[in-house]
Amino acid sequence: MIGIFDSGVGGLTVVKEIKKILPEAPILYFGDTARLPYGNKSRETIQKYSVEIIDFLRAKNCKTIVIACNSASALAADYVRKKNPDLKIYDVVSAGAEAVVDTTWNKKVAVIGTSATISSGVYKEKIAALDPEIEIFVKACPLFVPLVEEDWIVRPETKKVARVYLKELKLQKVDTLLLGCTHYPLLEKVIASVMGKRTKVIASGEKLAQKLKKEMLCFEKKEDMYYASDITEHFAKLARGILGKSVRIEKIELNKD
């Protein structure tokens, strides 16, 4: 089983990419909807939540873990890897950095994400480690997550917010812009239209799925399972919108203390 987690529903954008490339792979998804957002929380809190979730996924027999949340990948991936040396743990930040390096042609790139992800500096670090010649511009776009949560995907207000956030990045003439937050692929069209034709807008899900495909040779056949720490009709609707079908989501409380 591949255990995939996110702070909420956004990680399903990563599940969707994995299912495109590895339709047979059995998925166990956990969305920490009761404690969302992670993007404005401290490193310590995000590490604590990530440890709890990985303990849950381990108890469910997941040997491979995908951290589909950029904020958790940025602030907790190394921490949880050290604590769980027997598990194979993939994270969207490493995959996203590789996707940027593969895509850029003029070596001027941008990464947008939550405040936690951007202020961690981890994207700059990982991209520079892969190619020190790449110039990297970053921007935290904290309003994008609540806009997606409100389903304000095709609204003039959202486009206005995008114009404000992306103005500087556009002026830098970046050729690649990475959506460094699981919610942002839902705003891909509006972000791409603001950035214009000369910028390729990419997400990390596809690269992560390719990495999984390379390294995972066989799967036991099992039914996919979806869990969340809180379930609302809104969450179920967003999940349907992302996956293009309804899935049964079970509620599970991780910290019963």
Q: What DSSP assignment string belongs to 84-122?
A: -TTSEEEEHHHHHHHHHHHH-SSSEEEEEE-HHHHHHTH
Helix (H, G, I), strand (E, B) or coil at 27: strand
State both tokens at 196.
Answer: 């214009």
CB of 217 to ligand DGL, least distance (A): 29
Instruction: State the residues that interact with ligand DGL by CB under 6 A.
Output: 6-8, 10, 36-39, 69-71, 113-114, 117, 145, 181-183
Residues whose CB is less than 8 angstroms from the CB of residue 80 and which lie 6 or more positions away in sequence, other chains included = 47, 50, 51, 54, 65, 67, 89
Of 16 and 108, which CB lies nearer to ligand DGL in the complex structure?
16
CB of 113 to ligand DGL, least distance (A): 6
State both tokens at 214.
Answer: 């390379």
Of 43 and 107, which CB lies nearer to ligand DGL in the complex structure?
43
Q: What is the largest CA-CA distance in the chain?
A: 52
The residue annotated as part of the active site, out of 62, 141, 181, 218, is 181
Of 181 and 239, which CB lies nearer to ligand DGL in the complex structure?
181
> Looking at residue 186, what DSSP letter applies?
G
Of 28 and 178, which CB lies nearer to ligand DGL in the complex structure?
178
Please say if 218 is a catalytic residue. no
The residue annotated as part of the active site, out of 62, 69, 141, 218, is 69
Contact 29, 4 (CB under 8 A): yes
With CA atoms as reference, report the closest residue to 27 among 52, 54, 62: 62
Burial class of residue 224 (count of CB atoms within 10 Å of its CB; 0-12, 13-18, 19+): middle
Active site positions, annotated: 69, 181
